[in-house]
Every structure is written in structure tokens, then in C-alpha cells.
């Protein structure tokens, strides 16, 4: 192989590596974006469920709490 053929081969190999690396980075970026969106959706859903349960718990506690008239104050 002479110098010009080797240089051409090296240039093609370098170009191939660059294209492959760019494709890999683009693919990884898409995966990361998708994963972050999925995580955000899950967090929003978890917050919604937590807030709903928290509100239900507060409602149940207020229903169970005796009113001042119902309290039995012993003054003995």
C-alpha cells in the first residue's frame, strides 16, 4: 500500500469513526430525553397521588375529631 492509499484509508476510517460517534451520541441523547420525560411523568403522578391521599387523610381526621361539645371534661 503506498502513502496516498494509506492516507485515504485513514481518512475514511476517521470519517467513519466520527459518524459512528455522532450517531451514538444522538441515540444516547434520545434515550436520556425519553428517560427524563418518563421520570417527570412518574413524579407528577406520585405527587398527585400523595396530595390526594393527604387530603383524604385530613378529611378523615377532621371527621373523627370530636367537637368541643362532645369532649368529656372531668373536673374532679
pTM for this prediction: 0.47
- pLDDT at residue 71, rounded to an integer: 57
Q: What pLDDT, in 10s, does the model give residues 26-39?
A: 998 888 888 888 99
- Copy the grid coordinates of residue 36: 427524563
Give the pLDDT band of residue 17 (cuts 50, 70, 90). very high
CA–CA separation, 45 and 33 (whole Å): 18
36-to-30, 40, 46 alpha-carbon distances in Å:
10, 6, 15
- On the question of pLDDT at 75 being above 60, the answer is no
Amino acid at each position: 500500500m503506498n502513502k496516498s492509499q494509506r492516507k485515504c484509508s485513514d481518512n475514511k476510517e476517521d470519517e467513519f469513526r466520527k459518524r459512528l460517534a455522532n450517531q451514538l451520541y444522538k441515540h444516547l441523547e434520545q434515550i436520556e430525553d425519553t428517560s427524563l420525560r418518563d421520570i417527570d411523568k412518574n413524579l407528577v403522578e406520585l405527587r398527585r397521588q400523595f396530595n390526594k391521599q393527604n387530603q383524604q387523610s385530613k378529611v378523615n381526621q377532621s371527621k373523627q375529631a370530636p367537637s368541643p361539645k362532645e369532649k368529656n371534661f372531668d373536673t374532679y
